[in-house]
Amino acid sequence: MEETKRAAGILLALSSLPSEYGIGSFGQTARQWVDFLYSAGQKHWQILPLNPTSWGDSPYQSFSAFAISPYYIDLDALLAQGLLMKDELAGINWGKDADQVDYAALYREREPVLRKAFSRFKGGADYERFCAEQAFWLRDYALFMALKQKNNGRSWLEWEQDLRMRESDALVRAETTLGNDQAYHTFVQYMAFSQWNAIKDYANGRGIGIIGDIPIYVAMDSADVWANSELFLLDEQRKPIRVAGCPPDSFAAGGQLWGNPLYRWDRLDQSAYAWWLSRLRAGFALYDTIRIDHFRGFESYYAIPAGDPDASGGHWEKGPGFAFINAAQKAMPQAAIIAEDLGYLTEEVRDLLAASGYPGMKVLQFAFDSREPSNYMPYTYERNCVVYSGTHDNITSAGWFTSAPAEDIEAAKTYFGFRQTPEKREASWAFIRAALSSVANLAIIPMQDYLGLGSEARMNTPSTLGSSNWQWRLQPDALGNEAARALAGEIRAITALNGR
């Protein structure tokens, strides 16, 4: 996807929107956010994966590569439909802080509310059409979630042997005994998809495209692996043989051990990559553009023996290369894809990116890293790329100026012309101006940077659990007050100044 015109957008997770129900939703504030983007002269809204969160509350470790999190369902819409009553929402504690997502509270409180709505749901032609269109993943997912709840949340690897191995008689019995629970999870997906599609239509109607995010890997404890085990590197008991991660480097002495199962690319090739193409088609039904996380894994991937304590014992193996890219481009010739090409790159990876024609990513914070050379300085960019001041995995730009190594900060101060360490807003806008003025066809800025926020607003710290990962939210009145209108005007002005 090569942009023909310069454009700009803002990165903001759906979960970060304000709402009174503990997390951002497909409700009125999502439309209010789209209105903010429109008034700020933006053409893109980049989000994080919408999938249900599992281990560590990360949207990159999900129970399904296709499903949408039930947390995002707009409860006010269910009230308007008569599926919920006001008193059923009264007194529920969705979390202590309005500017932080409390996933424990959501896990505890959200399902009983949605079960009440399900008890009043009557179905209909649109529901039946949705079930038929999504049948290639929905039935397995709904049964997986019903079985997971029956097993007290345990991984499918710990279920009874016949269910773990998906023996046909066991699946029939499960669908019979858990039919109502399976129907509940199907209803949840219908509501989530219907509401999100309405938000996307609203954004597109205002000239704003949605950039979605697809992790290259799926979680081991997912309906995807349980229902398609032959496509993953598993032993005869369906336990992983080798898992995904990154090798040791100057950033992590033991490397990064992600733990995701690896693909059997030979078997995917035999099916002409059918499962992956279904995944991409499903993504393009939800988004206008897709960012593929860890794109370099298509050229070669790092394989770590399952059970190793860290990533140091892994090795590189060849991925499908251009055969997969070619299959995707033949199936979806107009597909708009951004390749996340960060990290350790070889000439082979660069060649694959060039052959694909997809724009890669540039992260300005990496331009000043003194530990290793990089091509993130704006004067090195080609037009066909997407520049970010930082991503969801970076500290905010203001936070970077107080936490980066001293030599990196000095290099940035020299580049931006600062005599001393700048204040938060000045630091953020220095990165913003550099990104917007670069030759990159598309510039994406995290909302935290436009707000001039410090490290307290960081979305995620890679390779860590707990802390405040994935929790940051906008203040409840952040989109409707006079300051928001003034900020939208500032963003519109600097966007127009840079021809975006």
Pure H helices in 301-446: 322-331, 347-356, 397-403, 406-416, 424-437
Q: How far is CA 345 from CA 262, 337, 371, in A?
A: 19, 19, 16
With tokens 């807003």, the residue in question is: 425
Torsion of CA 482, 484, 486, 489, to 10 degrees: -140
Retrieve residue 231's tokens: 């496509």
> In sequence order, which residues have a C-beta less than 8 Å from that of residue 130 and are 6 or more positions away?
189, 190, 193, 194
Q: Which of 302, 306, 293 is nearest to 393 (CA)?
A: 293
* Active site (annotated) includes residue 221: no
Q: Which of 135, 138, 136, 145 is nearest to 178 (CA)?
A: 145
Residue pair 196/72 in contact by the 8 Å Cβ criterion: yes
Helices 28-39 and 482-497 sit at what angle, rounded to 10 degrees?
A: 40
With tokens 């999100």, the residue in question is: 196
**What is the DSSP code (8-state) at residue 245?**
E
- Is beta strand 7-11 parallel, antiparallel or unpaired with respect to 242-246? unpaired
* Active site (annotated) includes residue 340: yes
Q: Which of 284, 286, 250, 463 is nearest to 371 (CA)?
A: 250
- Report the C-alpha gap between 383 and 2 in whole angstroms: 9
Helix (H, G, I), strand (E, B) or coil at 134: coil
Strand order in the sheet with 315-318: 256-261, 242-246, 300-305, 315-318
Catalytic residue among 57, 181, 213, 340: 340
Q: Which of 137, 307, 301 is nearest to 226 (CA)?
A: 137
Tell me how far the alpha carbon of residue 441 is from its chain's centroid.
22
Cα 356–337–384 angle (5° rounding)? 65
* Active site (annotated) includes residue 35: no
Polymer length of the chain? 500
Retrieve residue 295's tokens: 């794109």
Q: How far is CA 352 from CA 113, 297, 319, 346, 357, in A?
A: 48, 11, 11, 10, 9
Catalytic residue among 162, 393, 410, 426: 393
State residue 46 phi and psi, 5-degree precision: -95, 135
Residue pair 338/292 in contact by the 8 Å Cβ criterion: yes
Catalytic residue among 293, 299, 341, 449: 293
Q: Which of 366, 247, 214 is nearest to 316 (CA)?
A: 247
- Report the C-alpha gap between 363 and 390 in whole angstroms: 6
- Report the C-alpha gap between 92 and 86 in whole angstroms: 11
- Report the C-alpha gap between 397 and 429 in whole angstroms: 9
Give the active site residues. Answer: 293, 340, 393
